[in-house]
């Protein structure tokens, strides 16, 4: 078992409500591992703990064998964890290209460089353009980010996650708020990325999850109740109960 | 140091602390509920002092003046809310700060126009102007006791208002969930205006209470406002309990530091060194305390629950 | 495509006028206008450096007057000891000691207070920067040796080779060139990788952290740079006024600097300079009419906040900006 990400016994409560309850999860190198679960299952809380925005009450998070439970958020990024946001989280006042360029800049270590204009760095520009091309936004590179549509913002999120060349990409509901056609485009985009990066996909859209995932974990009330291949999950009684059963 | 001096200074510290609480409570109330930063809060403190001074001369009686000046400062607070604060609620904190900074210039200059450049001393009635001998060596001005009593009464009234009345319930609900209060059919605009006016009255009261001691003067609000900021930063912005405890803490530390720090320093260094360094350190003391609190607890001592 | 953008042209014209007009006035017997321009240029340096934090960093620092004041005292205190004795290691009138001292002291103060302030956010940050500035204010007030409340007269201006600061034209020249350098410096910083990170953190903090930027360190660095530049402006201001007092650090001075930045247009190269010009000119005009000039001035400031978003640069660009 070569787990890139290994979560064991994770707990997190907010004033008596257990958002994460003895959560165990292991993501293997190279797989696209989806986490699904009903609303309020604790998916976002899980992501926040993985990126370090929230501290778990107990439990361990290991990345490539290294304990990162207490590591600062920015340091996790340096180790090779990238994240896309459920609610689009871009720097709206900057151009599309600059958003991507900043992600590239982040990958190259510190940015305590005061003298040369960032725009003059043609290498960064070229690479950012290539990434934008990959997500189909090359022609919008110089537009202000705020001018793009929601669907395009979702694609930018993916481009930023790609820019970091992270070993592990945490994608938090990339389909959120997308129409049918846009969702199909996003599935295609993710299919193209799949296999080249290890991906933990948190997603609501079942069609997308079953179309893309190598393995699926089902999160209910902060606890993983089942992990397995899409077929195994389809046939799992506990999962059916959680999704279809009465309240 | 002798004991009676210690007691007197402790009482002075409590007095300063209570005045600070009156100013800080309004600030923290307005910020906690309206998410509005009002730099001009100190100007309301100043206006309270001036209005009370004028009315004292008009009525010939300090207490009547206070009773009439209170609703007047509340009214000014209402006007400030209506014409300056309300258009700025939707803006960011920077705009709040700049807008109310302009308001300070306006209010201070208006005070200058109306009351002139010099300060106005406020005479006290005879029965308040005396001294009370607690022991043979311990004599304190009776007015200072009144300040302490009034400050405590205002604090108690505020706690009662916030914790046990319908208005207080709405205020607490409004602080955590604005849309919910609106959904209950409460006119949130009126609620906000009331909160603002209440804050203005509290600041005004502090100004009225201090005026007989220091006299009413232009710009008197601009130094207390910073200390009040220190209070609510230490206490936790938006927390009434935090404001009360921090106000007493800051009041005591500041007063004690100014009176006894040189004595304390003399235990560890030469008298000359103590004489020169003590004033400088005591001037910075409350800010150093603030920095220490922040270093340990960036949200203050009593951070309010999630907004 | 023209050689300069419209904004570039405006900047060039404004800065050229600022270079030429004051000396012309001076040589035609209107020395007052040269003084005005010198003060303006110095305050503009402070506004330009505040803009780095406030405009590009999105951090509402309400304590920058303290840096200006500390810079001025870094000139005044050595000059005081040079004249009256005491603290021999500090006693000097050499600009080569005083000016670096001003920059070092303010950088250190920015580092210490910034380390605390930047742990907090939003309104906490505003109030804490204010409080630390007030702390320095009270510290200076408490030191009787340096005049306390009454302030300190600088009997001898900083001595520099080639430049004689007692000569108003040369002092103006130094202030003006310093302003140009400050503008170019901030422009260079904001366009660099460092500047991109600073502006990215203003736009979306969580995103920047997730990307792997320790934005605390970047902001602290910008805060120190900004503070040190204000300290330099303070050293010039001390040399210009030759009288310094704690009043220079009063928080209303900080508020005025902020207004210059916002009035002119935050996060632009020329904005703070335009703001400083407008501010000083309006102040001069109003105060020549009435001693109550703060009243219309305050109303004007409120009007600017309520109605003119994006500042003068926004108006010059011919379109209104929608704020943040």
pLDDT of residue B41: 93
Q: Where are the domains of chain C?
A: 6-16+31-316
Neighbouring chains to C with at least 3 Cβ pairs closer than 8 Å:
A, B
Give chain C positions within 8 Å (CB) of B104.
Answer: 252, 298
Q: Is C322 a residue whose pLDDT tops 50?
A: no
Among candidates C193, C199, C210 on the partner chain, residue whose Cβ is nearest the Cβ of A73: C210
C32 touches chain B (CB under 8 A): no
Nearest to C123 among B37, B98, B298 (CB): B37
Asked if B272 and B189 sit in the same domain, the reply is no
The string of pLDDT tens digits covering residues C220-256 is: 999 999 999 999 999 999 999 999 999 999 888 999 9
> Over the stretch B216-262, which tens digit does the pLDDT of each residue have?
899 898 889 989 999 998 998 878 888 999 999 999 999 988 888 88
User: In degrees rounded to 5, what are phi and psi of residue C165?
Assistant: -70, -10
Q: Is B184 inside a domain boundary?
A: yes
Average pLDDT of the residues in B273-285: 82
Least Cα separation, residue C77 to chain B (angstroms): 16
| Inside any domain, residue B61 | yes
> How far apart, in whole angstroms, are the C-alpha atoms of residue C204 and residue C324?
11
- pLDDT: which is higher, B40 or A244: B40
Q: Is C205 on the interface with A (CB under 8 A)?
A: no
Q: What CATH number matches the domain at A3-80+166-244, 3.40.50.300, 3.20.20.140, 1.10.10.10, 3.60.9.10?
A: 3.40.50.300
- Would residue B19 count as lying in a domain? no
Pair B159, B39 in one domain = yes
Q: Do residue A115 and residue C215 have CB atoms under 8 angstroms apart?
A: no
Cα–Cα–Cα angle for B5, B7, B13, rounded to 5 degrees: 100
Domain(s) of CATH 3.40.50.300: residues in chain A: 3-80+166-244
Range of the domain at B133: 25-218
Pick A77's closest partner by Cβ from C197, C211, C218: C211
Domain end among B203, B218, B233: B218
Do B189 and B40 share a structural domain?
A: yes
Residues of C in contact with B237 (CB under 8 A): 123-124
Same domain flag for B231 and B278: yes
- Contact C218/A111, CB-based, under 8 Å? yes
**Residue B65 corresponds to which tokens in the numbers above?**
């003046």
Answer whether residue B170 is part of any domain.
Answer: yes
Instruction: Assess whether B225 and B202 both reside in one domain.
Output: no
Does the beta carbon of C299 lie under 8 angstroms from any beta carbon of chain B? Answer: yes
Do residue B233 and residue C255 have CB atoms under 8 angstroms apart?
no
- Domain final residue, candidates B218, B250, B280: B218
Contacts of B5 (CB under 8 A, 6+ apart): B259
Flag whether B3 is in a domain.
Answer: no
Q: How far apart are CA C63 and CA C55, in angstroms?
A: 15
Give mean pLDDT, residues B127-151.
80
> Is residue B271 situated within a structural domain?
yes
By the CB < 8 Å criterion, does C7 face chain B? no
Q: Which residue has the higher pLDDT, B244 or A207?
A: B244
The CA-atom distances, in angstroms, between B67 and each of B23, B201, B204, C239 are 18, 11, 11, 52
Q: What is the nearest CA distance from C293 to chain A, expressed in angstroms?
A: 38
Asked if residue B122 is part of any domain, the answer here is yes
Q: How many domains does chain B have?
A: 2
Nearest-CB residue to B101 (from C143, C255, C299): C255
Residues B188 and B174 in one domain: yes
On whether any CB of chain B is under 8 Å from the CB of C203, the answer is no
Q: Would you call C209 an interface residue with chain A, using a CB distance cutoff of 8 Å?
A: yes
Whether residue B41 is found in the same domain as residue B143: yes
**Neighbour tally for A73: CB within 10 Å:** 22
Do residues B206 and B227 share a domain?
Answer: no
**Domain co-membership, B181 together with B33:** yes
| Topology of domain C6-16+31-316, CATH | ABC transporter involved in vitamin B12 uptake, BtuC (1.10.3470)
Encode pLDDT of B52-67 as tens digits. Answer: 999 998 988 888 899 9
Q: Among C186, C195, C200, pick the best mutation site for testing chain A contact (most A Cβ within 10 A).
A: C200
**pLDDT at res. B176:** 61
Same structural domain, B245 and B114: no
CB atoms near residue C5 (< 10 Å): 10
Summarize pLDDT for C14-30 with one digit per residue, the tens. Answer: 888 988 888 888 888 88
- CB-based contact (8 Å) between C148 and chain B? no
- Name the residue facing A119 among C191, C194, C212 (closest C-beta): C191
């Amino acid at each position: 078992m070569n787990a890139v990400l290994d979560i064991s016994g994770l707990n997190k409560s907010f004033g008596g409500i257990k958002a994460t309850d003895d959560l165990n999860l292991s993501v293997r190198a190279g797989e696209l591992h989806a986490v699904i679960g009903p609303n309020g299952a604790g998916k976002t809380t899980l992501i926040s703990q993985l990126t370090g925005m929230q501290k778990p009450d107990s439990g361990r998070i290991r990345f490539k064998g290294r304990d990162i439970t207490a590591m600062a958020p920015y340091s996790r990024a340096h180790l090779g964890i990238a994240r896309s946001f459920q609610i689009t989280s871009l720097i709206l006042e900057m151009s599309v290209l600059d958003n991507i360029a900043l992600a590239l800049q982040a990958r190259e270590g510190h940015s305590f460089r005061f003298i040369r204009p960032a725009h003059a760095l043609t290498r960064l520009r070229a690479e950012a353009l290539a990434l934008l091309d990959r997500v189909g936004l090359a022609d919008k590179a110089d537009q202000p980010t705020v001018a793009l549509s929601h669907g395009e913002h979702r694609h930018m999120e993916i481009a930023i996650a790609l820019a970091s060349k992270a070993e592990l990409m945490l994608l938090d509901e990339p389909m959120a708020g997308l129409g049918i056609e846009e969702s199909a485009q996003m599935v295609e985009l993710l299919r193209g990325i799949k296999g080249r990066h290890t991906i933990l996909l948190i997603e609501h859209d079942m069609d997308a999850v079953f179309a893309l995932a190598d393995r699926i974990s089902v999160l209910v009330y902060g606890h993983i109740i089942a992990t397995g291949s899409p077929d195994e999950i389809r046939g799992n009684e506990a999962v059916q109960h959680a999704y279809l059963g009465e309240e | 140091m002798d004991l009676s001096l210690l007691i007197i200074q402790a009482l002075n510290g409590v007095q300063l602390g209570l005045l600070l609480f009156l100013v800080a409570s309004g600030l923290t109330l307005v910020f906690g509920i309206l998410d509005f930063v009002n730099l001009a809060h100190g100007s309301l403190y100043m206006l309270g002092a001036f209005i009370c001074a004028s009315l004292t001369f008009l009525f010939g009686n300090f207490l009547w003046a206070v009773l009439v000046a209170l609703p007047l400062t509340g009214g000014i607070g209402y006007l400030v809310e209506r014409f300056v604060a309300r258009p700025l609620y939707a803006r960011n904190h920077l705009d709040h700060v700049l807008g109310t900074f302009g308001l300070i210039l306006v209010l201070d200059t208006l005070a200058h126009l109306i009351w002139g450049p010099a300060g106005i001393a406020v005479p006290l009635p005879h029965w308040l102007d005396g001294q009370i001998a607690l022991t043979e060596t311990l004599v304190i001005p009776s007015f200072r006791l009144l300040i302490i009593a009034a400050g405590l009464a205002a604090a108690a009234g505020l706690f009662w208002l916030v914790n046990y009345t319908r208005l207080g319930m709405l205020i607490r609900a409004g602080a955590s969930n604005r849309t919910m209060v609106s959904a209950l059919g409460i006119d949130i605009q009126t609620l906000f205006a009331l909160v603002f006016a209440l804050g203005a009255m509290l600041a005004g009261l502090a100004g009225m209470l201090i005026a007989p001691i220091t006299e009413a003067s232009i710009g008197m609000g601009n130094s207390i406002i910073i200390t009040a900021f220190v209070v609510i930063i230490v206490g936790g912005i938006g927390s009434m309990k935090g404001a009360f405890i921090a106000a007493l803490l800051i009041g005591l530390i500041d007063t004690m530091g100014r009176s006894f720090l040189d004595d304390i320093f003399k235990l560890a260094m030469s008298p000359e060194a103590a004489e020169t360094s003590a004033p400088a350190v005591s001037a910075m003391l409350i800010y150093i305390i603030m920095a220490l609190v922040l270093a340990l607890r960036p949200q203050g001592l009593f951070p309010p629950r999630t907004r | 495509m023209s050689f300069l953008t419209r904004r570039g042209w405006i900047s060039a014209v404004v800065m050229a006028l600022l270079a030429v007009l004051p000396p012309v006035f001076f040589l035609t017997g209107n020395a007052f206008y040269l003084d005005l321009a010198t003060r303006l240029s110095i305050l503009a340096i402070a506004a330009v450096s505040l803009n780095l934090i406030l405009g590009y960093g999105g951090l509402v620092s309400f304590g920058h007057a303290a840096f200006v004041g500390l810079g001025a005292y870094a000139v005044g205190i050595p000059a005081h000891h040079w004249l009256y004795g005491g603290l021999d290691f500090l006693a000097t009138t050499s600009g080569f000691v005083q000016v670096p001292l001003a920059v070092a002291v303010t950088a250190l103060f920015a580092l210490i207070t910034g380390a605390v302030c930047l742990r907090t956010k939003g309104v906490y940050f505003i109030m804490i920067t204010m409080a630390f500035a007030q702390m320095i204010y009270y510290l200076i007030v408490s030191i009787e040796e340096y005049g306390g409340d009454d302030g300190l007269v600088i009997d001898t201006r900083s001595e520099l080779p080639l430049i004689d600061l007692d000569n108003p034209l040369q002092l103006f020249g130094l202030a003006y060139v310093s302003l140009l350098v400050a503008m170019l410096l901030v422009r260079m910083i904001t366009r660099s990788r460092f500047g991109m990170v600073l502006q990215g953190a203003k736009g979306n903090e969580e995103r920047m952290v997730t990307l792997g930027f320790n934005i605390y360190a970047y902001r602290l660095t910008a805060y120190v740079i900004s503070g040190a530049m204000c300290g330099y402006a303070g050293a010039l201001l001390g040399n210009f006024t030759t009288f310094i007092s704690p009043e220079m650090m009063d928080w209303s001075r900080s508020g005025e600097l902020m207004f210059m930045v916002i009035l002119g247009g935050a996060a632009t190269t020329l904005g703070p300079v335009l703001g400083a010009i407008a501010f000083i000119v309006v102040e001069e005009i109003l105060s020549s009419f009435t001693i109550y000039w703060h009243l219309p001035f305050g109303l004007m400031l409120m009007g600017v906040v309520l109605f003119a978003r994006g500042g003068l640069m926004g108006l010059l660009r011919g379109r209104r900006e929608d704020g943040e």
